[in-house]
Amino acid sequence: MKFINIDFKGKVNNDEPHFARGTGLVDYLSVSYKKLVSVFGEPNAENDGYKTDAEWVIFTPAGIATIYNYKTGKNYLKDAGTPIDEITDWHIGGHNHNKGVVKWLKLALGLE
């Protein structure tokens, strides 16, 4: 797994490894898959083969964040699911309900 970091200036880099287990939903993000890939690269976490199709694990100055689709793609809905490259509604996960990660993700994506 490749890890992504956002530094204190909002710049994305891939220097330090960090773990993301135990994150939970803290907010939502409306952005194209193409935009996520242009900023963070291809999804860097394995999908679960069931409820998610794509996931990024990102270390921000506020802590670990995850961006993932949940029950909207082909893994969960089969033929009725949205193809990964057409998904625009994403979940943001953080440790201990840490909403501080949201602003860093939006900053990196140019949404704030």
pLDDT in tens, 58-92: 989 999 899 999 999 999 999 999 999 999 999 99
| 8 band by pLDDT with thresholds 50, 70 and 90 | low
Mean pLDDT value across residues 6-15: 66
Q: Which residue do the tokens 């694990």 mark? A: 57
Q: Could you tell me the residue range of the domain that residue 38 belongs to?
A: 4-108
- Please state, rounded to an integer, the average pLDDT across all residues of the chain: 88
Count Cβ atoms within 10 A of the Cβ of residue 37 and give its class: 0-12 exposed, 13-18 middle, 19 or more buried.
middle
Kindly state the helix (H) or strand (E) to which residue 111 belongs, with its residue range: none
Residue 2 pLDDT > 70, yes or no? no
pLDDT at 16: 43
Please tell me the total count of domains within the chain: 1
* Cα Rg, the chain, nearest whole Å: 13
